[in-house]
Structure 1
């Protein structure tokens, strides 16, 4: 587990540097990438369904990225894009395309696995964005309501 965290931390760190992320975003994004990979591995071991692993890890990364973006007053993509790199299903997509060109019988299964992984990540991003925006509106409403009552 520690090895996975360290590898993911540095992968996210170098991705952040390559994408020219602001200096104050590089370290939080790197920790987020490391913890996201740990969550991915834990869920993969607990549940034998890869889409769920991608969903849970991406959901965690996106919610934490929303929080960090508000805290640091920066765009969410500064945290999300580098942090999600360690869990991208690149090998699955490569394998699917390789099987497709080699014309083996495993191509359709590999393509479905790759599509499900990407679909799980996309659903997590959309749902986490909706959830954080809804919570933000509720907090804003409650804050405004209490301010109006005190005046």
Structure 2
């Protein structure tokens, strides 16, 4: 399959998954498109990083980081809570298959494989949480620096007068 077709398929289905989940949790219609875009961007960051050989943890961290940044930006644009954009966008990144495999292995009695899969799920979940934490910290630091810079400019203008 050509690479461009894989990109089109991944963007399309991640957008549809994010918007579909947003509809099920009653996200306002004015925010549906942006939550889908956020989900598609986060998934594409994950997919491209994973294809580049960065591993699941770093790929999920970067995908969640981008989702967090976009969620904060979109929340300022649309004047909505950040969770309206973040939660539906996370749906493509949720490690559903390893969770299913872990539960299945535990039910069958294969405890070693079940523990290994649960550890993998915990690492991916932690990476997603850290990605959101880093995005929040970076945007807060950016706006704090921006306010400080604007205050310095205002003081400079006042001194000139």
- Alpha-carbon distance in 2 for matches of 1:14, 1:8: 10
Q: Which has more radius of gyration?
A: 2
Paired position in structure 1 for 2:60: 54
Matches within 5 A, 1:37-52: 37-52=43-58
1:135 aligns with 2:142: yes
- 1:48 CA displacement: 4.8
Aligned to 2:114: 107
Q: How large is the Cα RMSD of the aligned pairs?
A: 1.2
- The CA distance in 2 between the partners of 1:67 and 1:132, in whole Å, is 9
TM-score, scaled relative to structure 2 = 0.88
Determine the C-alpha separation between the residues in 1 that align with 2:15 and 2:71.
15
2:157 maps to 1:150? yes
Number of aligned positions between the proteins: 151
Matched, 1:22 2:53: no
Name stretches of at least 5 consecutive residues in structure 1 with no aligned partner. Answer: none
Taking structure 1 as the reference length, the TM-score comes to: 0.94
Q: Where in structure 1 do 4 or more consecutive aligned residues deviate above 6 Å? A: none
For the residues of structure 2 that align with 1:144 and 1:75, how far apart are their CA atoms?
27
Aligned residue in 1 for 2:80: 74
Spell out, residue by residue over 1:68-127, the C-alpha distance to the aligned partner (whole angstroms, 9 max, x if none): 111222111011001111111121122112212212131121111111100100111111
Q: In structure 1, how many angstroms separate the alpha carbons of the residues matched to 2:80 and 2:152?
A: 28
